[in-house]
Amino acid sequence: MFSGKEPFSLYVHIPYCISKCPYCDFNSHVVPKIPEMEYTGALLKEMEFHARTEAWRGRSLKSVFFGGGTPSTFSPASIGKILEKSDSLFSFAKDIEITLEANPGTVDSAHFSGYRSCGVNRISIGAQSFQSHVLEFLGRVHSAGETRQALRVVQQAGFENFSMDLIYACPNQSLSDLRRDLDEALSFHLPHLSAYNLTIEEGTPFHIQHQAGIIRSLPEEIEISMAELVEEALAKAGLERYEISNYARAGFHSRHNVNYWQGGDYLGIGAGAHSYKRIQNSGALGCRWQNEKIPGRYLERIGREERAVVEEEKIDAGRAAGEFMFLGLRMIRGISLAEFSRRFGKKPRDFYPQIGAWIKEGLMEEKAGWLRLTPRGLLVANSIFVNFV
Ligand code: SF4
Domains observed in the chain: 8-259 (3.20.20.70), 335-389 (no CATH)
- Are the C-beta atoms of residues 215 and 209 closer than 8 Å to each other? yes
34, 70, 138: which to mutate for ligand 1, most atoms within 8 A of CB? 70
Per the omega criterion (within 30 degrees of 0), is the bond before 69 cis? yes
pLDDT at 7: 95
Taking residues 174-192, what's their average pLDDT? 97
Report which ligand 1 atom has the smallest distance to the Cα of 69: 3
In 15-147, beta strands by DSSP E: 61-68, 92-102, 122-128
pLDDT category of residue 5 using cuts at 50, 70 and 90: confident
Q: Is any ligand 1 atom within 6 A of the Cβ of residue 105?
A: no
Average pLDDT, the chain: 95
Q: How far is the CA of 171 from the CAs of 19, 132, 206, in angstroms?
A: 22, 14, 11
pLDDT at 327: 96
| 343 Cα–ligand 1 center, Å | 36
Q: Which of 103-107, 125-129, 376-380 has the lowest mean pLDDT?
A: 103-107
Q: Is any ligand 1 atom within 6 A of the Cβ of residue 233?
A: no
Q: Within 10 A of 290 (CB to CB), how many other CB atoms are there?
A: 17
Closest CA to 106 of 168, 184, 19, 37: 19
- Are the C-beta atoms of residues 23 and 201 closer than 8 Å to each other? yes
pLDDT at 195: 98
Q: Is any ligand 1 atom within 6 A of the Cβ of residue 12?
A: no
Taking residues 211-228, what's their average pLDDT? 94
Q: Is any ligand 1 atom within 6 A of the Cβ of residue 106?
A: no
Name the residue with the closest Cα to ligand 1, atom 6.
Answer: 21
| 170 Cα–ligand 1 center, Å | 16
pLDDT at 283: 62
pLDDT at 108: 83
pLDDT at 25: 96
Name the residue with the closest Cα to ligand 1, atom 5.
Answer: 20
- HSE of 357, CA atoms in CB hemisphere, 13 A: 5
pLDDT at 373: 98
Taking residues 358-374, what's their average pLDDT? 97
Is residue 300 exposed (0-12), middle (13-18) or buried (19+ Cβ within 10 Å)?
Answer: middle
H helices then E strands: how many in the chain? 16, 15
pTM score, whole prediction: 0.95
Per-residue pLDDT at 147 exceeds 90: yes
Taking residues 71-87, what's their average pLDDT? 97
DSSP state of 59: P
Per-residue pLDDT at 2 exceeds 80: no
| C-alpha–C-alpha distance, residues 110 and 102, integer Å | 13
Name the residue with the closest Cα to ligand 1, atom 3.
Answer: 69
Report which ligand 1 atom has the smallest distance to the Cα of 23: 7
Residues in the chain, how many?
389
Per-residue pLDDT at 128 exceeds 60: yes
pLDDT at 281: 64
Q: Is any ligand 1 atom within 6 A of the Cβ of residue 120?
A: no
Taking residues 93-105, what's their average pLDDT? 95
| 315 Cα–ligand 1 center, Å | 30
Tens digit of pLDDT for each residue in 286-316?
999 999 999 999 999 999 999 999 999 999 9
pLDDT at 107: 79
Taking residues 21-33, what's their average pLDDT? 97
Report which ligand 1 atom has the smallest distance to the Cα of 103: 1
| 205 Cα–ligand 1 center, Å | 13
* SS3 annotation, 326-353: HHHCCECCCEEHHHHHHHHCCCHHHHCC
| 109 Cα–ligand 1 center, Å | 22
Per-residue pLDDT at 282 exceeds 60: no
| 104 Cα–ligand 1 center, Å | 12
Q: Is any ligand 1 atom within 6 A of the Cβ of residue 24?
A: yes
Percent of the chain's residues with pLDDT above 70: 98
Report which ligand 1 atom has the smallest distance to the Cα of 139: 6
| 117 Cα–ligand 1 center, Å | 26
